Amino acid sequence: MKLINKIFTKQNTFLFLLIAMVLMAKLIPFKAFYNQYFDLSGFIDWGIAGIFLLYGLKLNLKEVVKDVSNWKLHLLIQSGTFIIFPLLVLIFYPFVKDSEYYNIWLSVFFLASLPSTVSSSVVMVSIAKGNVTSAIFNASISGIIGIVMTPLLMSFFLTSNGEGGDQIEIIEQLLLKVLLPIILGILLNPVFKKWVTKYSSIIAEFDRLIILLIVYESFSGAFIENIFASVPSLVFVILALSVVFLFFSVYEILNFWLKK
């Protein structure tokens, strides 16, 4: 019984639900014509905005100013995102540059060069009971820095003739889905903070629901487009191991840095 209780903690239950969403996406993927009955993408978009509105309601201006001024923490996080991640992948470039594995390496390097995902990053920090204010700030800043840094890092290995439409859209999404709801929440904080505190457990479940739906929608698209079938088993294993290696390596490096 004790073993079962250890396995089915709240955090582990959420992990099992994430796996269940992947399986559900495989068995019952969300197809495009389902949107005439329920607009899943729209619900997720509004849900993300709602999450950040609720985070704003939890905060007050003094806390925000205090956390935003913690430049050492922000420098550490952004360094991990745009320096440590890419460098760890770049180390392997001499071994693969003239091999059949170059494209696999390039895909991992692209992943390592991307900014953090705002909604997932902040919700995961919230679930871990971390510093949500700093998570919001760094995730938002990461998205803006990534507009410049990701193309810059990739430009050493790829040439691109793309225009600035995607960058403008990213900024618009950050403003509408993240910054605007947070600012509105902070302004309404004195009125609704007691209500948010009272129903904090329900709000936490709403956070998890949106993340689960994001996973379900993403994997549904992947399975419908048959993406996984187009990837050889060996390549899939290499990619999976690379992601695990990156995660734990950066985690240990940042943890060592924090303890210094």
Phi, then psi, of 155 in degrees rounded to 5: -65, -20
Residues in the chain, overall count: 260
**Who contacts 9 (Cβ-Cβ below 8 Å, separation ≥6)?**
none
- Is residue 161 scored above 60 in pLDDT? no
Q: If pLDDT is split at 50, 70 and 90, which confidence band does 4 have? A: very low
Percentage with pLDDT > 70 across the chain: 89
Residue 46 has pLDDT above 80, yes or no: yes
Evaluate if pTM is beyond 0.85: no
Q: How far is CA 146 from the centre of its chain?
A: 13
pLDDT, one tens digit per residue, over 165-198 is 556 776 777 777 777 888 888 888 788 877 877 7
Q: Do residues 56 and 192 lie in contact, with contact meaning Cβ atoms separated by under 8 Å?
A: no
What mean pLDDT do residues 230-235 have?
79
Q: Which residues contact 80 (CB under 8 A, 6 or more apart)?
A: 250, 253, 254
Quote the longest CA-to-CA distance of the chain.
62
Q: Of 131, 159, 152, 151, which Cα lies nearest the Cα of 72? A: 131
- What integer pLDDT is reported at residue 88 of this predicted model? 93
160 vs 42, higher pLDDT: 42
Number of C-alpha atoms within 13 angstroms, CB side, residue 28? 4
For 225-235, letters b (16+ CB in 10 Å) and e give eeeeeeeeeee
153 vs 61, higher pLDDT = 153
Residues 141-169: what's their mean pLDDT? 73
Quick one: pLDDT band at residue 3, thresholds 50, 70, 90?
Answer: very low
Name the band, by pLDDT with cuts 50, 70 and 90, for residue 87.
very high
Q: Are 143 and 170 in contact (CB under 8 A)?
A: yes
Model confidence over 101-140: pLDDT tens digits? 888 899 899 989 988 876 667 777 777 777 777 887 888 7
**Residue 231 pLDDT > 50:** yes
Within 10 A of 30 (CB to CB), how many other CB atoms are there?
20
| pLDDT bracket for residue 10 (50, 70, 90) | low
Residue 179's pLDDT is 78
Q: Which residue has the higher pLDDT, 83 or 120?
A: 83
Residue range 227-241: mean pLDDT, rounded: 81
CA distance 253 to 250: 5
Mean of the per-residue pLDDT values for the chain? 81
Summarize the confidence of residues 145-155 as an average pLDDT.
84
What is the band of 234 on the pLDDT scale with cuts at 50, 70, 90? confident
CA 235 to chain centre: 23
pLDDT of residue 93: 92
SS3 state of residue 224 = helix
Q: Under 8 Å CB-to-CB from 192, ≥6 apart: which residues?
A: 57
Torsion of CA 189, 193, 199, 204, to 10 degrees: 50
Distance (Å, rounded) from C-alpha 106 to C-alpha 82? 16
Residue pointed to by tokens 């995607």: 166
